[in-house]
Structure 1
């Protein structure tokens, strides 16, 4: 039964606020502000810090891999998704709030608490995404899934961009930071966690208020759990009947690992390579978020013309080129073989040849980042059986997380063994190549516009 047009548009707009609400966690905490700060100032040294950060993502990835399809199956049996999202959002909120405790050189119990907070916040965010994704096919007709998915990603990047701009404008650029923050104690970096928590609590409200949820199926909680687990067991036994879906899930499992690793370690790598301060890395983050935002909207238009699979394919090819480009650049060398003058003390913003080459590679890397994720989500929505949507999105999250511990784990191991952060990051390239090959064998269903 169709909803009134105004109500429908409000629901669609409110659904995108989920991405807006959660994106500062990924932008401020896991990529551009807190993660580089943790590696540079909280951990004993940059190599150890990159390894430890990789291990937090490893633990989160294992937890999500084990539980996401189970929770998805239970939610399908029970009906509503919002109660799950609320509980998981609170987990992310609490984890972000605790990051204020990450004092420079923190050790002992405080360091363990910070590492646990990062892990729990990541688990909460990624689980919440499972349930939010599963609401998409019930919200719009099949031919509009890709467009709304892309808009959601784009809106999310706008939220990340604005939150990053607020941090720079209020706490970094002024000689005296807002609220009397102490730059010497890195309070701006530490505040990125609580700021993300407050942002999440405020901006997730429209999704709860205006997006329709599935009705409760009338099952008691225990019966819903038993039915969900039984349905999941049946799905796993019958996966041989969903070979096309499984090929896509396998592809997403591999290239999804690479996407997460690139985003999680990009800021860390940039800061360690060039010695960027908070302002420089913040501006770099703004540039990357603008590119990802534009790429998300352009990807939605491209998907409407060429389909989800081809959009993901083009995105992965560009991601491979951009990643190789970034890895070819060091402080005193570009494209592996050409020596250049290293960055000089007191230099201007992005003044050295290596930094400019790094930004050029970022252009190639940033634009396809949003389309790769948005079109993957819409492709899953088109491939999943309607009656098993949340369950398949649980498997989709599983495919994005089943080996999500592997790329960060390998980055940590290779970084520790070689004492070279570049070689650690390089492990993502084979993941992208293998994921691209698996995706080539996926059959995308024809798009019908009769709904």
Structure 2
């Protein structure tokens, strides 16, 4: 990325840094509420009548959206580094995200005609949030000194997980109900009267995530400095695309280690995204968890992720990014294998345990406790 440009943004004040970090807070409900813990399990086990077919459709939609984002991200990243203001691009992709999230409302149980609309809406939201993130990330080097980039990055991750935790606690605690009891995670009636027979609370997760984003992304637009707009649009785009082509050629010819790193990062990032996308679906399928258990499961995992992000940012400045990545992925792989080793009546692939007993309590069985341990 260019280190200085005539229209580069000035270093940010504290409110500008906070506004930039709040972008992660604003987007996190998409990942926490929609992708992992509430809407995705509802899509598979509530919206459609065939859970196996629903899992396949969700996987195809997720893969297609992520593939499109992966194809567009390098091009848009080059444009983001070429001198144009980033906020207009973020605003445009934000519109895609918000419209897509609102479209999830049409997932009425059994409404098979709405399946294409819901899947398209999910893909649109995924593409919007991923590409908006490209431009938000491109702003970071101009906001703070290089030696503090790790701290700011870790802070943003932690703020994001805190946003996911807050949104999940609010939605699971006061809105989404267990279909069997009609109560929320806190044992309360929903704060807003909703039709349980059409699962309005689960369908409202998308619009709530959109509203959350619109509210909390405002500080970034208002306070975080951006590059000035005193340049033509076509010249930076042309320059950025040209630089991308030159960088790719130079990368393959002279910087094989960097190319290998980018390939490795693509593989582990996509693998992690797949685990997160299907974690809630897998847990719901194995143990029959409803919104109450999934909400509590998500809260516990998000708390763990919050502290992990805080620690990771500090370690990045202390021991370096590569060591942090290796250490983190060793733990991640061990936990993922552990999760896959858990079934309703087995843990560690072959150790038998007593199956879940209805009405015994939340996470009362050995399998559920093992799932929780490995997932955290």
TM-score, with length taken from structure 1? 0.77
Please report how far the alpha carbon of residue 3 of structure 1 lies from its aligned counterpart in structure 2 after TM superposition: 10
Q: Which residue of 1 aligns with 2:258?
A: 245
Distance in structure 1 (CA, Å) of the matches to 2:49 and 2:59: 15
Q: Which residue is equivalent to 1:228?
A: 240
- The answer on 1:338 being equivalent to 2:351 is yes
Please give the alpha-carbon distance, in whole angstroms, between the structure 1 residues aligned to 2:347 and 2:189. Answer: 37
Partner of 1:12: 17
After superposition, where does 1:359-438 map in structure 2 within 5 Å? 359-363=372-376
Deviation at 1:180, TM superposition (A): 0.7
1:97 aligned to which of 102, 105, 113: 102
1:115-126 pair list within 5 angstroms: 115-126=119-130
Instruction: Note the C-alpha offset of 1:344.
Output: 1.4
Query: 2:208 corresponds to which residue?
Result: 195
Query: 2:119 and 2:287 mapped to 1: Cα distance?
Result: 25
Match of 1:111 in 2: 115
For residues 124 and 40 of structure 1, the distance between their equivalents in structure 2, rounded to whole angstroms, comes to 26
- The answer to whether residue 180 in structure 2 is matched with residue 169 in structure 1 is no
1:295-306 equivalence runs, <5 A: 295-306=308-319
**What is the CA-CA distance between 1:345 and the residue it aligns to?**
1.8
Task: Note if 1:140 corresponds to 2:181.
Answer: no
Give 1:229 deviation, angstroms.
Answer: 2.3
Aligned equivalents of 1:298 and 1:235: distance in 2? 33
Aligned to 2:217: 204
Secondary structure of 1:184's aligned partner: helix
- Separation in 2 of the partners of 1:197 and 1:241? 44
Instruction: Tell me the residue number matched to 2:48.
Output: 43
Root mean square deviation, CA, Å: 1.8
- 1:298-334 alpha-carbon deviations (Å, 9 max, x no partner): 1112222211110010000000100010111100011
Task: Measure how far apart 1:236 and its partner are.
Answer: 2.0
CA apart distance, 1:74: 2.5
Kept after mapping to 1: 8 A contact 2:9/2:226? no
2:29 alignment counterpart: 24
SS of the aligned residue for 2:204 comes to: helix
CA distance, structure 2, for counterparts of residue 246 and residue 106 of structure 1? 46
Which residue matches 1:423? none
Offset of residue 4 of structure 1? 10
How many residues of Structure 1 are paired with residues of Structure 2 in the alignment? 360
- Which digits, 9 at most, give the CA deviation of each residue in 1:378-398, with x for residues without a partner? xxxxxxxxxxxxxxxxxxxxx
Q: Give the CA deviation at 1:248.
A: 1.6
Q: CA deviation at 1:223?
A: 3.4
Q: What TM-score does the superposition give when structure 2 sets the normalisation length? A: 0.92
**Cα offset for 1:346?**
1.8
User: Which segment is superposed worse, 295-304 or 69-78?
Assistant: 69-78
Q: Secondary structure at the match of 1:288?
A: helix
Deviation per CA, 1:17-64: give whole Å up to 9, x if none: 000000001100011000000010122322212111110111112211
Structure 2 residues without counterparts, runs of 5 or longer: 178-183
Tell me whether 204-213 or 164-173 shows the greater mean CA deviation.
Answer: 164-173
Question: 8 Å contact 1:78–1:217 — kept in the other structure?
Answer: no
| Matches of 1:346 and 1:45, distance apart in 2 | 26
- Which position in structure 1 is the counterpart of 2:180? none
Secondary structure, aligned partner of 1:265: helix
Report the equivalent of 1:314.
327
Contact 2:93 2:131 in 1 (8 A): yes
1:68–1:130 Cα contact (<8 Å) kept: yes
Cα gap change, 1:304/1:222 in structure 2, threshold over 3 Å: closer, same or farther? closer
* Pair 1:79–1:222, CA change in 2 (3 A): closer
Q: Where does structure 1 lack aligned partners over 5 or more consecutive residues?
A: 364-451
Residues 102/316 of structure 1: CA separation in 2 closer, same or farther (3 Å cut): same
Shift of 1:67: 1.6
Paired with 2:23 and 2:10, the residues of 1 have a C-alpha distance of: 22
Alignment match, 1:416: none
- Report the Cα distance in structure 2 between the residues aligned to 1:241 and 1:134, rounded to whole angstroms: 24
SS of 1:349's partner is coil
- Normalized per residue, which structure has more helix? 1
How many Å separate the matches in 1 of 2:349 and 2:19?
46
3-state SS of the aligned residue for 1:215? Answer: coil
Shift of 1:175: 4.9
Structure 1 Cα separation of the partners of residues 64 and 290 of structure 2: 29
Output the CA distance in 2 between the equivalents of 1:10 and 1:245: 34
Give yes or no for the alignment of 1:270 onto 2:283: yes
